[in-house]
Amino acid sequence: MLDILFEDEHLVVIDKPAGLLVHRTRQAFGENENALIQLRNQLDHWVAPVHRLDRATSGCLLFAKNEEVLPKLQGMFMERKIQKTYCCIVRGIPMEKEGLIDHPLTSERSGKLQEAQSKYKVLAETEQPFNSTGRYPTSRYSLLEIELLTGRTHQIRRHLAHIRHYILGDRKHGDNKQNHYFETHFGLEHLLLHAWQLRFAHPTSGNIISIYCTPPPHFQHIVEKLGWNLA
């Protein structure tokens, strides 16, 4: 059963588990398990996803509960009126503790270059007394908060790879040596990227909705191993 973080007559926000598709896709043809079907069955009500999360990403996922509010919510995303905040654990420590990654990305569908912007903030950092890559006697990591200003496919993962602060557990855009070390020594099996906050004005009442989603156990396990505390 999906964990519901917020629900009223117009919308519902769930905590999407890592590894679960948002909806059926061509890339995962034949797979029937997805958040859309599960939520429809759970609520016994029509719902439609307003935005997407990568399959590997956990956290806040917003659905409309009627066809009237769906285009309003989609428009709010397009106009950047819905604030999406993520957290992730990356290799290394950025020199600037806060910054903007303004780096266009090629669309994985059309091949066209698209504007892409992500804001980041270092929440915690550490230097650990183990060698995860074979190059240095210690290894450094950061816990980052990321705010998306645009919504491109794999944007956070690609932007952080661009500045060489790869997300742990990212098999497509990450550092395979880091991934292997954390799999072997800490049992890491998932991408350490989590959509932990949504904030927006309700499309009908105008009330501010602010939703926080606690990172999942596999994320908190690595947080503890690196000596941090998310409380």
Give the pLDDT band of residue 27 (cuts 50, 70, 90): low
> What does pLDDT average to over the chain?
92
Per the listing, tokens 């954390």 go with 182
pLDDT of residue 25: 59
Domains of the chain in start order, with CATH, are: 3-225 (3.30.2350.10)
**pLDDT tens string 125-171:** 999 988 777 677 889 999 999 999 988 889 999 999 999 999 999 99
Give the residue numbers annotated as catalytic, written as ranges.
54
The first and second tokens of residue 188, run together, are 């890491």
Contact 186, 25 (CB under 8 A): no
Q: Which stretches of the chain are assigned E, i.e. beta strand?
A: 3-7, 11-16, 48-49, 58-64, 83-91, 98-102, 105-106, 113-114, 117-128, 139-148, 193-201, 208-212
Rg (CA), the chain: 18
pLDDT of residue 50: 95
Model's pTM, two decimal places?
Answer: 0.93
